[in-house]
């Protein structure tokens, strides 16, 4: 089968399309023929090994796993003997590793569900990562109905998910984004939208229960005065926040929490329900064929994408 591989760390050009061995599902796995996947900032970080500390988990000198890709949507090609939930030919979506390939094995108990009705494979592929990440972050913040949250980087993959999910939980959402995406973010349900090129939200005198940094370009130190007493700053990126995570554990009543990605079947099922109920939609900026993964990765690394960048595979 075809897959995008990288045998060393480096820029987007270290990726190449190659023929690799066809995976064989275990008894508790399904083999999915991937129709669409995505390129996200996690893929780019794993490929470039930035920050360097990530190498202690992914391989010090070279990557332990040389096929990237986290999100997928496709069709079940084979089902293990112990699988009962899925049958050959059914359309599925979710989050796994190694999705930049024509075929990928996924555990039945993993982050996989039947594809939401009424949306394309491309849209389904762009649901899982941002949605699951945002769900985990909002739960850490113990977000409740009526509380005020500001979503920083509200036009990205995690940000567009965060806006919609915070509204689902009944929060009052202030979204921060650039000029070109103001109307898009407003259409996702934000109660207020701030264009950061014209206004600094930390100087508007407002206080928020939660500051959700979905883009990883802010810091707890810069924004902490905009938090209510007992509020949470949720960081999705940036080692500059790490020391503050320990400091806030001991000092004051405003806390910083670091996002920890946990991809669960229950969250994928919830996202499926919200999509089918019209409460959630994946935002797609650009779509590339698998053969143009280098160009797709370069675009993601500009930091200017809106929502998701999709790769079509089969």
| Cα separation values, 130 from 11, 68, 204, 271, 281, Å | 23, 16, 28, 10, 11
At 77 the pLDDT is 98
pLDDT tens-place string over residues 18-74: 999 999 999 999 999 999 999 999 999 999 988 777 787 788 889 999 999 999 999
Q: Retrieve residue 284's tokens.
A: 């797609």
| pLDDT tier for residue 221 given thresholds of 50, 70 and 90 | confident
Q: How much of the chain, in percent, has pLDDT values that exceed 70? A: 95
pLDDT beyond 60 at 211: yes
Question: Which domains, from first to last, does the chain contain?
Answer: 2-127+282-312 (3.90.180.10), 130-258 (3.40.50.720)
14-18, 190-194, 229-233, 241-245: least confident range: 241-245
Give the strand pairing for 172-177 and 208-213: unpaired
Peptide bond into 214 cis (omega under 30): no
The pairs formed by 15-19 with CB atoms below 8 angstroms and a separation of 24 or more are 15/47, 15/68, 15/293, 15/294, 15/297, 17/290, 17/291, 17/293
User: In the chain, which ranges are continuous DSSP H helix?
Assistant: 41-48, 55-58, 121-125, 128-140, 157-168, 182-187, 220-223, 242-250, 265-276, 293-300
Give the Cα separation of 66 and 3 in Å (integer): 10
pLDDT beyond 80 at 179: yes
Yes or no: say if 272 and 121 are a contact pair by the CB < 8 Å rule. no
Give the Cα separation of 191 and 168 in Å (integer): 13
Q: Retrieve residue 287's tokens.
A: 């779509």
Residues in a beta bridge with 235? 213, 258
Q: Retrieve residue 66's tokens.
A: 């040389």
Residue with tokens 């500009």: 302
Yes or no: say if 72 and 93 are a contact pair by the CB < 8 Å rule. yes
DSSP state of 115: P
Average of per-residue pLDDT values in the chain: 93
Of 143 and 78, which is predicted with more confidence? 78
Residues in a beta bridge with 16? 5
pLDDT tens-place string over residues 132-156: 999 999 998 888 899 999 999 999 9
Peptide bond into 51 cis (omega under 30): yes
At 255 the pLDDT is 82
Q: Name the nearest CA neighbour of 131 among 159, 100, 108.
A: 159
Q: What is the Cα Rg of the chain in Å?
A: 19
Taking the alpha carbons of 145, 148, 152, 153 in that order, is the dihedral positive or negative?
A: positive
| pLDDT tier for residue 245 given thresholds of 50, 70 and 90 | low
Task: Encode burial over 218-232: b for 16+ CB neighbours within 10 A, e otherwise.
Answer: bbbeebbebbbeebb
């Amino acid at each position: 089968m075809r897959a995008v591989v990288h045998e060393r760390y480096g820029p987007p050009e270290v990726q190449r399309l190659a023929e690799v061995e066809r995976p064989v599902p275990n008894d508790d796995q399904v083999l999915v023929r991937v129709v669409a996947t995505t390129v996200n900032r996690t893929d780019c970080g794993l490929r470039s090994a930035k920050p360097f500390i990530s190498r202690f988990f992914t391989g010090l000198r070279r990557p332990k796993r040389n096929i990237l890709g986290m999100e997928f949507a496709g069709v079940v090609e084979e089902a293990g003997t112990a699988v009962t939930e899925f049958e050959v030919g059914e359309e599925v979506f979710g989050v796994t590793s190694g999705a930049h390939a024509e075929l990928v094995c996924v555990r039945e108990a993993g982050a996989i569900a039947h594809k939401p009705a009424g949306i394309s494979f491309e849209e389904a592929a762009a649901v899982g990562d941002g949605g699951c990440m945002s769900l985990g972050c909002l739960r850490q913040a113990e977000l409740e109905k009526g509380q005020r949250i500001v979503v920083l980087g509200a036009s990205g993959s995690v940000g567009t998910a965060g806006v919609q999910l915070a509204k689902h939980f009944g929060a009052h959402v202030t979204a921060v984004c650039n000029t070109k995406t103001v109307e898009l973010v407003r259409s996702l349900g934000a109660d207020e939208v701030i264009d950061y090129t014209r206004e600094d939200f930390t100087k508007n005198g407002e206080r928020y229960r939660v500051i959700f940094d979905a883009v990883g370009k802010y810091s707890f130190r810069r924004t902490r005065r905009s938090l209510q007493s007992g509020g949470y700053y949720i960081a999705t990126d940036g080692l500059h926040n790490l020391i503050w995570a320990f400091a806030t554990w001991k000092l004051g009543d405003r806390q910083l929490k670091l996002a920890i990605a946990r991809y669960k079947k229950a969250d994928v099922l919830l996202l499926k329900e919200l999509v089918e109920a019209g409460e959630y939609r994946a935002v797609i900026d650009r779509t590339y064929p698998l053969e143009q993964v280098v160009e797709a990765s370069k675009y993601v690394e500009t930091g200017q994408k809106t929502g998701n960048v999709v790769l079509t595979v089969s």
